[in-house]
Amino acid sequence: MTTTVPQTDQRSAIVTGASTGIGEATVRALAAEGWRVFAVARRAERLESLAAETGAIAVPADISEDDDVARLVAAVVDAGGADTLVNIAGGARGTDWVAEAKTEDWEWMLRSNVVGTMKITRAFLPMLRANGHGTVLNLTSVAALVSYEGGGGYNAAKAAERAMTRALRLEEAENNVRVVEVLPGLVKTEEFSLRRLGGNAEAAEKVYEGVEEPLTAEDVADIVRYAVTVPHHINLDEIVVRPVAQAAAHKLIRRHA
């Protein structure tokens, strides 16, 4: 199957992790600027609702599954192709120390953050190269930069995704494919901490307790939008973004009444 597509003036992006949080907000941000956006996630019903609101093209898929990735590529080709891949799908599971690590949690984090990102990037690189002005943006985390107790699995997954991103930038420069990495700190979204903590809403809320202004999904989505919209000869290699209250991994200001 060919992945060569006709050139068009309209910018077009594939956004993974689009059913919630930063992925959903990124779909909204790009669609609002006139981009054709392929919204990708596993939850079809949420994608359909997002598509109805924004005009995005909903493509339900699990990016870690080869058949789903192949179907996604075919759908993008049929719809006219894309010049930008925004890899946001991923996440964290658990806060166990390594001594109590759950194998299934680590395997899920490595599969969703690293293997899935590799598979979808590998699948779309021929299209991005053929476009002549392709962009890959990977959303990692400050957890890739500094490890912390209870974060070993997520630290490992995001550090691996970061290493892959840096290698990709070197490999694809000669193909005029720019590779951007956005590394957010504390972002308060609908599901990230809730999922990480096994659905415990009270524990999830405590993650943000006393932090006056954590980042929002919309904050990060606006940075993603900017990074992929600047003229193509500009590559924002690495963008670390934290709330002011989070001066560093070990310094988070919590103000209690």
**pLDDT, tens digit (0-9, with 9 covering 90-100), for 192-250:** 766 777 777 777 687 778 888 999 999 999 999 999 999 999 999 999 999 999 999 88
Residue in 160, 128, 158, 125 with CA at minimum distance from that of residue 11: 128
Tokens of 76: 């993008």
Q: What percentage of the chain carries pLDDT values higher than 70?
A: 95
Round to whole Å and give the CA distance between 165 and 46: 29
Please state the CATH superfamily assignment of the domain spanning residues 12-252 in this structure: NAD(P)-binding Rossmann-like Domain (3.40.50.720)
Round to whole Å and give the CA distance between 37 and 229: 14
pTM across the whole model = 0.91
Residue in 133, 135, 153, 134 with CA at minimum distance from that of residue 143: 153
Whether 9 shows a pLDDT value over 60: the answer reads yes
Catalytic residue check, 208: no
Strand partners, 138: 87, 181
Strand partners, 39: 15, 58
Whether 257 shows a pLDDT value over 50: the answer reads no
Rounded to an integer, the average pLDDT of 56-62 is: 96
